[in-house]
Amino acid sequence: MNPKGLLIVDDHPVYREALTEKLGADFQPLGVQVASAASAQDGLDALARQPLRWTVLLDVLMPGLSGLAVIKAFRSQPQVEHVVAISGLDEKLWEPRTVSAGATTFLSKNNTSQFIFNKLNQLIQGGSSPMNLQEPAAPSYRLTPRQREVLGLIALGHPNKTIASFLEISEQTVKIHINQIFKELRVFNRTQAVLKAQKSQLL
């Protein structure tokens, strides 16, 4: 039986290094090796180098291969037992999407490192991780699920090109969604849209 490993794939160096150090210390007594990678390709290469039974903690919003496609890429690797998606995106909105793409569960970057360790340890030791698939409360404004996704990415400060890449749609389609969001929220720019969405608990 191969030993178990945890691979953290995140392009943000400060977050990646801090989480790798913390989880490495937490998992060391349990015999779980912790490694990290700054990109999806580096992560896939790391899997090939070490014959471990891997759980992958994967940032779903990175340059290059990202989003739901990167979940599928890691999940297709025979040595990967679990892919755990992690992001600052809206948890209620994105957990069902990432799970549908093959992730075992979704974790928010707003959680503490101890919470993340507990969830990962539950999976690595063979337990299950219950998914929170409750429907979000109905918003005051009528936005489609796609418009809510676009709005969430706007709130994170991403430009149209990044939003288009992540959602696998054209930039023109992103612009159409943004215009519809502005019209529905009765605002004239991104800042106003984000502030109104936060006030209305759309984010």
Instruction: Give the Cα separation of 62 and 110 in Å (integer).
Output: 17
CA distance to 50, 55, 168, per residue, from 37 (Å): 14, 13, 24
Distance CA 183, CA 73 (A): 37
Name the residue among 106, 90, 92 with its Cα closest to residue 155: 90
pLDDT value at residue 131: 41
Instruction: List, as one string, the DSSP characters of 57-119.
Output: EEES--SSS-HHHHHHHHHTSTTEEEEEEEESS-HHHHHHHHHHTT-SEEEETTS-HHHHHHH
CATH class of 145-199: mainly alpha
Cβ within 8 Å of residue 111, ≥6 positions away: none
Looking at CATH, the fold of the domain delimited by 4-124 is given as Rossmann fold (3.40.50)
Beta bridge partners of 108: 87
Residues 73, 60: contact at Cβ < 8 Å?
no
- Looking at the chain, the domain(s) classified CATH 1.10.10.10 span 145-199
pLDDT of residue 186: 85
Q: Could you read off the pLDDT tens digit of each residue along the chain, which spans 203 residues?
A: 568 999 999 999 999 999 999 999 999 999 999 999 999 889 999 998 888 999 999 998 887 766 788 898 899 898 999 999 998 888 888 888 888 888 999 999 888 999 999 999 999 987 444 443 333 443 467 888 899 899 989 988 899 999 999 999 999 999 999 999 998 888 888 888 888 887 777 76
Residues of the chain with CATH 3.40.50.2300: 4-124
Closest Cα partner for 155 from 108, 202, 94?
A: 202
Q: Is the pTM of this model over 0.75?
A: no
Summarize pLDDT for 37-79 with one digit per residue, the tens: 999 889 999 998 888 999 999 998 887 766 788 898 899 898 9
